[in-house]
Structure 1
Amino acid sequence: MAQAMKIAIVDDEQDMRQSISQWLALSGYDTETFSSAEDALKVLGPDYPGIVISDIKMPGMDGIQLLKKLMGADSTLPVIMITGHGDVPMAVEAMRVGAFDFLEKPFNPDRMSELAKRASNARRLTLDNRALRRELSGGTQIMNKLIGASPVMERLREDILDLGQADGHVLIDGETGTGKTLVAHALHAVGSRAGKKFVLVSCAALEEETLSKRLFGPMLPEDTQLPAIEEARGGTLVLEDVEALSDTLQARLLSVMNEQGTPAETRIVAISNLQEAGKTSEDVLRPDLFYRLAALRITMPPLRQRGEDILTLFTRLSEQFAEEYGCDAPQVSAQEAAQLLQAPWPGNVRQLINIAERAVLQSRRGSGTIASLLMSDHEEMQPVMTTEGKPLKEYVEAFERMLIDNTMRRHKGSIASVMDELCLPRRTLNEKMAKYGLQRSDYL
C-alpha cells in the first residue's frame, strides 16, 4: 500500500507553519515543520520521501540559500517557495535556481493543495524510478521485481534486457494485472536512457482536449509543466492505455514520431490494456502507428501460464504483508497450493496481490481459507478447476518445492534445521534442492 508523501514546511513564523501543516494534513499528507532552514537541512537528504514548502524571507539562511543547498543535494526534489506580495524578482530567482513553483502571500489554500499534489506525484515517480534503477542496476538484479523461474518469465527478462539496450519504440500488451507498467520502468532502467526523464501519461484518464495539451501542447501561460513529448526529451515517454487515443491524436503522435530522428529523441513505450474480448491493439490502432510501435513488442504472460511462480509469488507477497501487519504469514497446505495453481486468475498478479493480503488478514483473525478467498473473487467459478489440467506429479512437485523453499527461508539456510523439520535425510534434501534449483547460499 502506498505510503502518504511527506511535506516539509520551513517557515520562521509559527502561525504560518501550523496553518499550512493543518491544511495539508486534512488533505492526507504527512507533514513535518521546521522553524529554520538550518534545522530543515538536518533532515532533508537526497532521498527525502516527499516535497518541501519554504518561505523565502527567513532570518539566518533564507529560502533561496536553502533552495540552492537542496538542489545541490538532489536537483529533482520539488520545492515550493512562498513569497511576499510584490517579491517578483525573488520568485524569478527561485525558479531559476530550480524551484518547482511559488505561492504569493496571501495565497489560496486550494492553490497550495493543488501544487502540493502535482509536486508529490512528480516526487513519487522520481523516487519509484530511482529505486527501480538501483534494483535493476545490474542485469541479474532485475529479478528483484520480476520474480519467477518459469520459462515465460525467463524469456521476459531476456526480452527486457535486449529491448532495453535497443533504442526503438516499444509496444507492451497483455492481459490486465500482468505488470506491464513495471516492465516499462524496467526497459527504461536497464537501457542507455536510465538517467534521463521517465514520463508516464494515462491516455484513458484524460478528456481528448486535455490529453492533447498534455501530450503535445500548447500549454497555457500559467502552466509550469512542459508537454509530455518535450518533458521526456532524451528519455522515455510511456503511454498507458494507448488504445484510448482518438484517431486525431494517433495521427498527431505518428507525425511527431516521424519528425524525430534516428535514434528517436524521445523513446515511446506504448501500453495496451484492451478489455474487450477478441480485441487487440492491432484492431484499434491505425496500421501505420501500430507497426511503428510494434516493431519491438513484449506480450506479458498471464499468471495462469506461470506454473509454480504462483506459489513463489504468493509466498513472497504474504511474507511482505505479514511483516506490514505484524503477524505470521499463513502456512499453505498441499490442498491450498493445488487450489492456487489451478485457479484461472483472470486478474493475474494484481488479483494474487489482493488474495495474499486478504489471506494474511484472515489468518491473523484465525479464520477463513484460500479457497473461500478465490471463491469470493469469482463466485461463479470453482476455484479448484482450471481450463488447463496438469498431471498430479506437477502439483506435487510444485508444492514440494514451495515447502522446501519456505522452510529454508524460515531457518535462514540451516540444512540441519530443515532436515529435522521435514524429516529428510541429508542426501534426499540435497537431491531435491538440486532438482528444484534451490541454492543454500540464497538463504544465508
Structure 2
Amino acid sequence: MAQAMKIAIVDDEKDMRQSIGQWLSLSGFETETFPGAEDALKAVGADYPGIVISDIKMPGMDGMAFLKKLMSQDSSLPVIMITGHGDVPMAVEAMRVGAFDFLEKPFNPAKMTEMVKTATQRRRIALDNRALRRELSDGSTLMKKLIGTSPVMDRLREDILDLGQSDAHVLIDGETGTGKTLVAHALHAVGAKAGRKFVLLSCAAHGEDELSRKLFGPLEDGLHALEDARGGTVVLEDIEALPEALQAKLLTWINDQGTPPETRIIAISNLQEQGKTCEDRLRPDLYYRLATMKITVPPLRSRGEDTLTLFTHFGDIFADEYGCDAPKVAAQEAAQLLQAPWPGNIRQLINVAERAVLQSRRGSGTIASLLMEGGDDVQPVMTTEGKPLKEYVEAFERMLIDNTMRRHKGSIVAVMDELCLPRRTLNEKMAKYNLQRSDYL
C-alpha cells in the first residue's frame, strides 16, 4: 500500500505554523510542526516520507540556510518556501537553490493545498523509484523474491550465488514468464559489480540501426549501453533477435575486452520457436562466448508445491491492494493448481491470482473456473496427467497450515482451534513442512 506522506511545517511564528497545520490536516494530510530549522533537521532526513513547508525569515538558521542543508541531504525533497511581501527576489534565489515552489504572504489556503498535493505526489514517485533501485541492487532482497522451496529453485539460487561471483558472461534461458530478468538482476546484485551500473536493453524492441546506436553508439543524447555500463553489467534481452551484423560487432567488442572482462554481459534468450534454441540463432563463436556460463530458469510446472506458495503470495498482495480477503483455496482447486501445465508460467499465475481476488471480492466464481475459462490476458490452464494422491494431500495440507498461520499471525492456539489439531500434531506437521512460527509473528 502507498506510504502516507507527511508535511513538515517549519515557522518560528506559532500561530502561522498551527494555522497551516490545521488547514492541511483538515485537507487530509499528516502534519508535524517545528519552531525552527534546527529542530526540523532532527526529524527530516534523506529519505523523509513527505515534504517541507518553511518560512524564509527565521531566527537562528534562516530558511535559505535550511533549504541548502536539506538539498545537500536529499536534492529530490520538495521544499515549499513561505515569503513575506517584497521578498520575491529571495524566493527566486530559493528556487535556484532547489526549492519546489514558494508562497507569498498572505497566501490562499486552497492554492497551498494544491501545491502540497503536487509536491507530495512527486515525492511519492521519487521515493518509490529510490526504493525500487535499492531493491534491484540488494542481493538478499532479490533472492527472497525467488520464492519457492522446490529442489529446482534451491539449485537455481545456488547457481545464482556461484555464478554471481564470476565476471564471466552468462546466458539465461527458459520459458516465457519464468522470471529470467529477475534472475539477471539477482546475478548482478550478489556479485562484485553490485554497486556498479546495470543496463537493460531488448534486442527485439528496436530496428537494426536504432539497436546499433543504443548498443554501440553514437547517441545524440546520453551514452550507449556498453559505455554506460562500463565496469558493470549489460543485460541483452531477446538475444536471439540480434541481427547478424551486430552479432559480429558484439563479438569483436567482447574479444577486445580481454579476460576477465571489464563489463559483464548477461544474455537472455526468450526463443519459443518449436524445435529451435538460441544456439541455432547466434553465430557459434558468439554463442559460446556468451554461454561461458548458463542458467536455465525452471518452468512453474516442475516446481511442485511452489505453485500453491506463489498463488497464496500473490493472492495476499492483490487482496491487500483491493482491500478484501484473499480467496480460500479448496482441496480440489489446490489439486488443479498443481496439475496445471502453466504455459505462461509465473506471469500467468499472477493473472489468475488477481482475477481470483476480484472474483472473491464480488462473492462469485471459483478458482477452478478461472483455470478453465482463460480470457484476453489469461490462457486456459488445462490440467495435465495426475500425480500420486499423497503429493496433493501434503501440498494442500502445507498450504492450509501456512495460510492459517498467516491469518492468525503465528498464534498457535488460534491455528489449533481452527484446524482442530492437537499441539503435538501441529508441531510435527510444521516441522515436516519446514514452517517456522517466527516467520508469521
Same fold per TM (> 0.5)? yes
* Structure 1 letter corresponding to 2:422: P
CA distance in 1, matches of 2:288, 2:47: 40
SS in 2 for 1:337: helix
Shift of 1:232: 0.2
Matching of residue 236 in structure 1 with residue 240 in structure 2: no
Shift of 1:437: 1.1
- Is 1:237–1:267's contact at 8 Å kept on the other side of the alignment? yes
CA distance in 2, matches of 1:74, 1:242: 38
Tell me the equivalent position of 2:349.
352
Matching of residue 211 in structure 1 with residue 208 in structure 2: no
* Structure 2 letter corresponding to 1:282: E
SS in 2 for 1:200: strand
CA distance in 1, matches of 2:126, 2:285: 33
Q: Deviations over 1:276-323 (max 9, x none)?
A: 111111110111111111111100100000000000000010001000
Q: Deviations over 1:219-261 (max 9, x none)?
A: 23xx1x1010000001110111111100011111111111113
Shift of 1:131: 1.5
* Structure 1 letter corresponding to 2:360: S
SS in 2 for 1:298: strand
Shift of 1:128: 2.7
| Cα gap change, 1:49 to 1:412, in 2 (>3 Å) | closer
Matching of residue 191 in structure 1 with residue 187 in structure 2: no
Shift of 1:414: 1.4
- Give the length in aligned residue pairs: 350
CA distance in 1, matches of 2:351, 2:274: 24
| Cα gap change, 1:202 to 1:382, in 2 (>3 Å) | closer
- Is 2:135–2:142's contact at 8 Å kept on the other side of the alignment? no
SS in 2 for 1:270: strand
- Is 1:49–1:127's contact at 8 Å kept on the other side of the alignment? no
Tell me the equivalent position of 2:13.
none
Tell me the equivalent position of 1:173.
173
Tell me the equivalent position of 1:436.
433
Shift of 1:158: 0.4
| Cα gap change, 1:258 to 1:123, in 2 (>3 Å) | farther
- Is 2:344–2:379's contact at 8 Å kept on the other side of the alignment? no
CA distance in 2, matches of 1:430, 1:306: 25
Tell me the equivalent position of 2:90.
none
* Structure 1 letter corresponding to 2:306: D
Say which of 387, 408, 413 aligns to 1:416.
413
* Structure 1 letter corresponding to 2:174: G
Say which of 359, 365, 385 aligns to 2:383.
385
- Is 2:372–2:382's contact at 8 Å kept on the other side of the alignment? no
CA distance in 2, matches of 1:243, 1:227: 20
Say which of 281, 299, 305 aligns to 2:302.
305
Tell me the equivalent position of 2:92.
none
SS in 1 for 2:194: coil
SS in 2 for 1:283: helix
CA RMSD of aligned residues (A): 3.3
| Cα gap change, 1:122 to 1:268, in 2 (>3 Å) | farther
**TM-score, structure 1 as length reference:** 0.72
CA distance in 1, matches of 2:74, 2:256: 34
* Structure 2 letter corresponding to 1:202: S
Q: Deviations over 1:26-76 (max 9, x none)?
A: xxxxxxxxxxxx9xx9999755899xxxxxxxxx859xx96x965x5468x
CA distance in 1, matches of 2:131, 2:250: 28
Q: Any stretches of 5+ residues in structure 2 without a counterpart?
A: 6-36, 51-62, 79-95, 98-123
Tell me the equivalent position of 1:332.
329
Bigger mean CA deviation after superposition, 148-157 or 260-269: 260-269
- Is 2:374–2:381's contact at 8 Å kept on the other side of the alignment? no
* Structure 1 letter corresponding to 2:133: N
| Cα gap change, 1:144 to 1:74, in 2 (>3 Å) | farther
| Cα gap change, 1:124 to 1:326, in 2 (>3 Å) | closer
CA distance in 1, matches of 2:256, 2:77: 32
Q: Any stretches of 5+ residues in structure 1 without a counterpart?
A: 7-37, 51-59, 80-93, 98-119
Shift of 1:329: 0.4
Q: How does 1:122-133 map to 2 (within 5 A)?
A: 127-133=131-137
| Cα gap change, 1:294 to 1:361, in 2 (>3 Å) | same
